Structure 1
Amino acid sequence: QVKQQPDSAQIRRPGSNHAAGEWTLWAEFLLAMCTLLAACGIHMSPLGFNLMVHTACSVGDMNSVLALTTYMHTHTHVQFHAGMLSSILSVYKVPYAAKCDLFLHMLQSSARVGAHSEWSNVAVQVNPTLVLYMVRLAESLDDVQHLCQVVDVLGREHCVELGAQDIEQLRSLAMDSAQIREELKTWKNV
């Protein structure tokens, strides 16, 4: 079971708390407005959601990110795609544990949404590179808990089976990627 919300004390926010507070109020207003518009059959465009999610990431407000992405799955037909997830995961100021929580949250939301026929076209496009990325990061940080969670969610809710040989292959593939090695150096300091 994925933690509902990351501990706000673990989230580093640039600037003053006042600025972060203003963003939280704006996100709450946006969600309320989106709910009202959705009731009238009006949905925010994918570009609008992308902008809001990236803004939330820029201030390290993972609570708002989770709220926005959950809303996207449950109230709209906006697709949360791999590129958008990749952008969120690349925000270095967000703690690694919070990134893992978001990643698992999106995997589980995708599975739940996909289970309903009326939402069959709404799902996270899980890019194998992103899965490799998260598995490798968890492994490099000796984060066994998150590593097991990622593998468990993939197997239980996405019918993806990863055995010992698969994990070993993922490890070797990751080590061959200069980009991942460089980003790992940065993420270890987060």
Structure 2
Amino acid sequence: MWVHIVQCICEQVKQQPDSMQIRQPGSNHAAGEWTSWAEFLLAMCTLLAARGIHMPPLGFNLMVHTACSVGDMDSVLALTTYMHTHTHVWFHAGMLSSILSVNKVPYAAKCDLFLHMLQSSAHVGAHSEWSNGAVQVNSTLVSYMVQLAELLNDVQHLHQVVDVLGQEHCVELGTQDIEQLWSLAMDSAQIREKLKTWKNV
């Protein structure tokens, strides 16, 4: 039932993304003190958790994907931070992969979400009941991130993700990934030197 309520609210947000009453319900004095639709849903999650009712991963996935689809990055940050600090729900690779293709999400934000996912993974642990069935980080997902990079600035944002993946998760870029990034970094000797440390080219 609670996931259905989340789904209904998320549908309203997606249908009327520019509505101030939906995006910022606190602008309607009758709605109370909520400053965003995400804050309202997270407050509901907190109240339910106090009664032993925990929002399942599907509910959080709906919220995160909705926030990304309307370009509401403040809510994305609030949601993923809440998941990391207040729940055992892992912001896993499955959730991340579902939003990487959303054009309204800047590439830098996608890299930040990738790092947040890795941090969340370490926080929850591989044997958590909430992470069962979650998509694991693999070279395919990393290659998709590379394909989304279009500018030199994107490569600069991506390098931190690649460093963490290589050092902590033993996931490296493939040869084709390196070649694509190399072509984007033609005008930056510094980035090209960094690429050499990721893998021999």
2:137 is the counterpart of 1:132: no
* C-alpha contact (below 8 Å) 2:57/2:89 kept by paired residues: yes
Q: Take 2:161 and 2:48, find their aligned partners in 1: how far apart are those partners?
A: 35
Shift of 1:171: 4.3
* C-alpha contact (below 8 Å) 1:111/1:157 kept by paired residues: no
* C-alpha contact (below 8 Å) 1:73/1:109 kept by paired residues: yes
Other-structure match for 1:150: 161
Shift of 1:24: 5.3
Decide which of 4, 13, 18 is 1:15's aligned counterpart: 18
Q: Take 2:169 and 2:142, find their aligned partners in 1: how far apart are those partners?
A: 12
Q: Root-mean-square deviation (CA), in Å?
A: 3.2
2:144 is the counterpart of 1:141: no
Other-structure match for 1:46: 57
Decide whether aligned partners of structure 1 residues 135 and 141 sit closer, same or farther in structure 2, where only a CA change above 3 A counts: same
Decide whether aligned partners of structure 1 residues 149 and 54 sit closer, same or farther in structure 2, where only a CA change above 3 A counts: same
Shift of 1:80: 3.4
Secondary structure of the corresponding residue to residue 24 of structure 2:
helix
Decide whether aligned partners of structure 1 residues 61 and 135 sit closer, same or farther in structure 2, where only a CA change above 3 A counts: same
- Give the letter for the 1:95 counterpart: P
Decide whether aligned partners of structure 1 residues 105 and 55 sit closer, same or farther in structure 2, where only a CA change above 3 A counts: same
- Give the letter for the 1:40 counterpart: R
Q: Take 2:41 and 2:167, find their aligned partners in 1: how far apart are those partners?
A: 33
Count of residue pairs brought into register by the alignment: 155
Shift of 1:15: 3.1
- Give the letter for the 2:151 counterpart: L
Identity between Structure 1 and Structure 2 (%):
77
Other-structure match for 2:95: 84
* C-alpha contact (below 8 Å) 1:100/1:146 kept by paired residues: yes
**Consecutive unaligned residues in structure 1, runs of 5 or more:** 1-13, 175-190
**Consecutive unaligned residues in structure 2, runs of 5 or more:** 1-16, 26-33, 182-201
Say which one has the larger Rg.
2
TM-score (norm: length of structure 1): 0.65
Q: Take 2:122 and 2:156, find their aligned partners in 1: how far apart are those partners?
A: 21
Cα deviation 1:60-104 (Å, max 9, x = unaligned): 111211221232233333343433212211111222222222122
